[in-house]
Amino acid sequence: MKYLLFLLLGFLGFSRTWAQALTVTSVTPRPHAVAVGRTGPIQLTFSQPLGAGANTLRVLSDHRGRLSGADSVNGNTLIFTPTQAFVPGEVVYVTVPTTIHSAAGIPLTAPQVYQFTAATSAGPSTFTSTTTVALGRRNQPMYVGEMKLVDMDSDGDLDLLATVDSPTARAVGLQFNDGQGNFTAGLNPVATGQAQLLRPLDVDGDGDLDFIASFSTSTGTRLRVHMNEGRGVFREGYSYPIAPGRGPNNLLVGDGDGDGDLDLLVVYSQGTDATLLMNNGLGKFTPSVISGTDTAKDMAWGDLDNDGDLDLLTVGSFGLSLRLNDGKATFTPVATVNTGATFDYITVADIDQDGDLDLLTNGNQGPLLYTNNGQGVFTSKWRLLVQPRTLTDMDGDGDLDMVNLPPAFTNPPLAAVQIRHNDGAGGFFGASVDVPFATLPDSFVTGDVDGDGDLDLVSSDASHVVHIRWNGSPPASIPVTPLQVATLTPGRHQLHVAPASPVVIGYNQALQPPAVPAAHLQVFSAQRGRLAGTVTRQEAGLTFVPATNFQPGERVSISATPIDPLGDPILSATHVSQFTTAVAGGTGAFSGGSVTSVNQFTFRLLAADVDNDGDQDLLSCSNVSNEVIVSLNSGNGTFPTRRFFTVDKDISDMTVADVDGDGDIDVLVSAGLQGFTAQTGKVTVCLNNGTGYFGGGTSLSVGNQTSAIAAGDVDGDGDLDVLTAAGSGRLAFNKNNGDGTFPPAIIAQITGSPFRMQLHDVDNDGDLDLVTSQAGWQGTLICINRNDGEGRFQESSQVTVAYGRELTGADVDQDGDLDLLTTNGTGVVILLNNGSGTFSTGSTLAIAGAGDGAVLLPAIWMGTGTWICSRGAPQRTGR
């Protein structure tokens, strides 16, 4: 009796637990839907009323990354309303996590994963007009491999990301869309190396698209993650090696383990296994081997049995094998289809619109369609005419059409992309729509590049050029007046500015917000750091009044960060400008003074007010003692107090800047001097406590060697970033977080290994360009690298002068643009700017001893531009 009572109680307890289980009973849009309304919402109904808090869906897009929106609960229903409409044709991934719980506190039994596709408009599927896009470094045509149309800068339109290859450059290239299908060069390349497979995805869930690419190296293939720092600027992240001979055939993206982030399935060209790289949510992946896949030629995954997780299909010489997911990324073989057939291609999609995923394959029996009964059981339906490259709704009728290149056996070869429309039941029997091109296309991609709701065609061809064919009429040009800086007071590069002058920025249109935050206008002194002051708004401008007067002869930089007439701070461009304040007189003749001793082999000398007492102190560094020497000014030009702090060995350069924005000057030291013993290039950030004592900060890894360093607001966001010459041909960009901390460096290409780097607006476009100098056998090479406003630099011109390496800039002819000065074997060479960043040799000032080791110091004397040239002998000045 007791035994029976125990069984009865146990059964009742089990029944109660089962009754309380929280499950998903319905979802809208349905899984695998291919024509979902673009405004949403996403609705899920549960078996019980939901509780408050933690009821959040993870919604990601293959075009844009994680999507923002509002989650709300209404009884048993959870609703996600997207902030922005879905993009035509984008695939939306939804994860329902186990953090969702009922009102009684019972969590969801198991995570649910599904996806759908946003609807496209009913374009005519007749393609007119062609626009040519040059892709590659300096717009030189290159072989174009994989192309993706995705929103890499989060501005709401589709940019072009592609692998490019030429004898001189192998890279992943990016060009930005203006919203109307006009592409302008972004940073090209955004990643260097022989890239093959390319997959954009939001690996860290921060709302912008990162990308993963496979790169061929001398030791095999390596998968590299490139993290988007915002607005299409990337840094290298996670890297995963693949053994030689096992280069991946395919990379599949999806939430394999149901934890709300996107994982990566690697399909190999050799071997009997695959690798699932499981994402930790921050873009770091843990590999898990899926064994027993025989010699798989291709794989696909999707929810084949409609149970809320991603199942796996593999194809090869063995036929087609189905493995079901237990929801935790453990895959169990359950069936083999068509044993004896050989397959080399597979994809899954709801071809017949019955709510489940069907299979499309290719192999020794030709292209085949297998339909799903909804439980992962497949039946061969019919043979297809060609293997599809892309399945998408080209005519906006709510089903998936087939887009492909013409069959290889077509004679003569057909220079076109072919579209075969779906009859709604999975039949593609009608005549193809052939979209002609001048030459044979190599590859293509579809997307709404002009924002009219239908899908356009972008293709590359044998001439290594990218072409855009518009679906219907080409887009009409819509004039937009952007918010721009119209006037600056003091003017750009202006000299002898009165110390009490306010800074005034005038815009080309009125500002509508009732108030503009002071953070929109940041003012920095090269000698004192960030300056305190008051910012006020006028109808079409901003005014900054410094709390104390500018100091005589100091260089001041201003950063006007983005604002918009309607208050949206991301719609308009930034603006950076510099000017120099006046001094009270002097004749330019030097005598007397004091002698301050420094350590042996001191090679860098800087002046700045490090202790905030109103006078200029001296900083020097030695790569023998590995020290920075701080010599404090007593106020009368003598330096009785010295302080030392040690940094990394093999110092290559030093600069000062207020990187943490606290109103004092910090020190940045680059180490890892080329030709010395250091193996790893570093930048040491030494933060000032306000009294001239330095400590804390961080150490930035930038490469194997360093040769020069510069600091300035290169991305126009109101803080000072760091640029380092990090080995031959490498520029490391450390973007400031605003508090003196920096994410890993973004690596770009420059010419050679500069000895000096300067940041100046040489083309008067409102951002800081990079000017470098380096010594060579032919003399000094000066390179002008123009900034696009986001910290992406592209070399525009070079100037060669005889010998010397030093460099400085000033408006020596007072025509409103910045000229350059450098040394040669006999004196100082003045390079005059024509106003657009093109320099011609103006004159040479003969100065004895102004050779390779001469130092140039910009100064202001009697209201005119002056420079000082020093090489151990008495200083010489020129005007």
Give the pLDDT confidence of 230-243 residue by residue, as tens digits.
777 788 888 898 87
Is the per-residue pLDDT at 712 higher than 90? Answer: yes
The rounded percent of the chain whose pLDDT value lies above 70 is 83
Preceding omega of 502 cis (within 30 degrees of 0): no
Name the region of 791 (left: φ>0; alpha: ψ -120 to 50; beta: rest): left
What is the distance between the alpha carbons of residues 482 and 682, in angstroms, rounded to a whole number? 40
Residue 346 in 3-state DSSP? strand
What is the distance between the alpha carbons of residues 868 and 854, in angstroms, rounded to a whole number? 10
pLDDT band at residue 56 under the 50/70/90 scheme: confident
pLDDT at 552: 86
pLDDT at 866: 39
Name residue, tokens 């700017």: 833
Is the per-residue pLDDT at 854 higher than 90? Answer: no
What is the distance between the alpha carbons of residues 343 and 297, in angstroms, rounded to a whole number? 7
Say if residue 341 is exposed, middle or buried (CB neighbours under 10 Å; 0-12, 13-18, 19+).
Answer: middle
- 32-41, 728-737, 798-807: segment of lowest average pLDDT: 798-807
Does residue 557 form part of some domain?
Answer: yes
- Tens digit of pLDDT for each residue in 113-161? 999 999 988 766 677 766 777 654 444 556 788 899 999 888 889 999 9
pLDDT at 709: 93
Two tokens at 94?
């939804």
Same-domain status, 557 and 609: no
Same-domain status, 687 and 561: no
For residues 185-212, average pLDDT: 82
Rg (CA), the chain: 32
Query: Length of the chain in residues, anyone?
Result: 879
Is the per-residue pLDDT at 590 higher than 70? Answer: no
pLDDT at 29: 93
Same-domain status, 549 and 652: no
CATH number of domain containing 543: 2.60.40.3710
Is the per-residue pLDDT at 655 higher than 90? Answer: yes
Quickly count: other Cβ atoms within 10 Å of residue 827's Cβ. Answer: 21
Same-domain status, 108 and 132: no
Same-domain status, 253 and 135: yes
pLDDT at 303: 93
Residues 6 or more apart in contact with residue 215 via CB below 8 angstroms: 193, 194, 195, 196, 221, 222, 223, 224
Residue 843 in 3-state DSSP? strand
pLDDT band at residue 729 under the 50/70/90 scheme: confident
- 86-100, 593-607, 613-627: segment of lowest average pLDDT: 593-607
Same-domain status, 206 and 317: yes
Q: Which range among 339-348, 604-613, 833-842 has the greatest average pLDDT?
A: 604-613
pLDDT at 826: 72
What is the distance between the alpha carbons of residues 775 and 758, in angstroms, rounded to a whole number? 15
Does residue 110 form part of some domain?
Answer: yes
pLDDT at 601: 66
Q: Give the residue, 730 or 20, on which the prediction is more confident.
A: 730
pLDDT at 254: 92
pLDDT at 12: 40
Same-domain status, 106 and 183: no
What is the distance between the alpha carbons of residues 294 and 248, in angstroms, rounded to a whole number? 15
What is the distance between the alpha carbons of residues 475 and 686, in angstroms, rounded to a whole number? 53
Name residue, tokens 């080791």: 853
Residue of 849, 850, 836 whose CA lies nearest to 808: 850
CATH number of domain containing 641: 2.130.10.10
Say if residue 237 is exposed, middle or buried (CB neighbours under 10 Å; 0-12, 13-18, 19+).
Answer: buried
What is the distance between the alpha carbons of residues 431 and 436, in angstroms, rounded to a whole number? 15
pLDDT at 626: 82
What is the distance between the alpha carbons of residues 135 and 468, in angstroms, rounded to a whole number? 13
pLDDT band at residue 477 under the 50/70/90 scheme: low
Name residue, tokens 């309303």: 81
Residues 6 or more apart in contact with residue 227 via CB below 8 angstroms: 203, 204, 210, 234, 235, 236, 237, 283
Q: Which residues are bridge partners to 608 per DSSP?
A: 617
Does residue 437 form part of some domain?
Answer: yes
Contact 560, 553 (CB under 8 A): no
Domain that holds residue 728: 602-749
Residue 519 in 3-state DSSP? helix
pLDDT at 512: 60
Same-domain status, 419 and 522: no
pLDDT band at residue 10 under the 50/70/90 scheme: very low
Q: Dihedral, CA atoms, 613, 618, 621, 627, nearest 10 degrees?
A: -40
Does residue 547 form part of some domain?
Answer: yes
Contact 175, 135 (CB under 8 A): yes
Residues 6 or more apart in contact with residue 785 via CB below 8 angstroms: 750, 769, 770, 771, 772, 793, 794, 795, 796
pLDDT at 610: 93
pTM listed for this prediction: 0.62
What is the distance between the alpha carbons of residues 178 and 405, in angstroms, rounded to a whole number? 28
User: How many separate domains does the chain show?
Assistant: 4
Put the strands of the sheet holding 617-622 in their side by side order. Answer: 602-608, 617-622, 627-632, 641-646
Assign 3-state DSSP to the chain and report helix, strand, coil percentages, each to 5. Answer: 5, 50, 50
Average pLDDT, the chain: 81
pLDDT at 52: 79
Does residue 792 form part of some domain?
Answer: no
User: What's at 735, amino acid-wise?
Assistant: K
Does residue 875 form part of some domain?
Answer: no
What is the distance between the alpha carbons of residues 323 and 309, in angstroms, rounded to a whole number? 12
Among 726, 749, 772, identify where a domain stops. 749
Is the per-residue pLDDT at 796 higher than 90? Answer: no
- Tens digit of pLDDT for each residue in 410-451? 777 788 888 888 888 888 878 788 888 777 888 889 999 988
- Tens digit of pLDDT for each residue in 330-352? 988 887 776 667 888 889 999 99
User: What's at 863, amino acid-wise?
Assistant: G
Quickly count: other Cβ atoms within 10 Å of residue 3's Cβ. Answer: 7
What is the distance between the alpha carbons of residues 30 and 416, in angstroms, rounded to a whole number? 35
Among 522, 548, 581, identify where a domain stops. 581
- Tens digit of pLDDT for each residue in 80-116? 999 999 999 999 999 999 889 999 889 998 899 999 9
Name residue, tokens 């192998």: 170
Does residue 807 form part of some domain?
Answer: no
Q: Strand locations in 186-258, DSSP E?
A: 191-192, 194-201, 210-217, 220-228, 234-242, 248-254
For residues 393-404, average pLDDT: 89
Two tokens at 505?
């920025």
Q: Which helix (H) or strand (E) holds 708?
A: strand 708-712
Same-domain status, 292 and 432: yes
Same-domain status, 113 and 133: no
Quickly count: other Cβ atoms within 10 Å of residue 5's Cβ. Answer: 9
Q: How wide is the angle at C-alpha 119 spanned by C-alphas 113 and 120, nearest 5°?
A: 145
Name residue, tokens 């069959």: 407
Does residue 12 form part of some domain?
Answer: no
Is the per-residue pLDDT at 870 higher than 50? Answer: no
Among 749, 768, 802, identify where a domain stops. 749
pLDDT at 448: 92
The rounded percent of the chain whose pLDDT value lies above 90 is 24
- Tens digit of pLDDT for each residue in 481-523? 667 788 999 998 888 889 999 999 888 877 765 555 667 788 9
pLDDT band at residue 871 under the 50/70/90 scheme: very low
Mind giving me the DSSP string for 2-47?
HHHHHHHHHHHHHHHHHHH-B-EEEEESPTT-SSB-TT--EEEEES
Instruction: Please tell me the number of Cα atoms within 13 Å of 853 on its side-chain side.
Output: 7
Same-domain status, 444 and 362: yes
- Tens digit of pLDDT for each residue in 526-552? 888 889 999 888 888 889 999 999 988
pLDDT band at residue 595 under the 50/70/90 scheme: low
pLDDT at 518: 65
What is the distance between the alpha carbons of residues 276 and 776, in angstroms, rounded to a whole number? 50
Is the per-residue pLDDT at 873 higher than 50? Answer: no
pLDDT at 597: 65
Same-domain status, 326 and 228: yes
pLDDT at 868: 40
Pairing mode, strands 170-177 and 191-192: antiparallel
- Tens digit of pLDDT for each residue in 558-573? 988 766 444 444 445 6
What is the distance between the alpha carbons of residues 243 and 552, in angstroms, rounded to a whole number? 62
- Tens digit of pLDDT for each residue in 313-333? 888 777 788 889 998 889 888
pLDDT at 513: 53
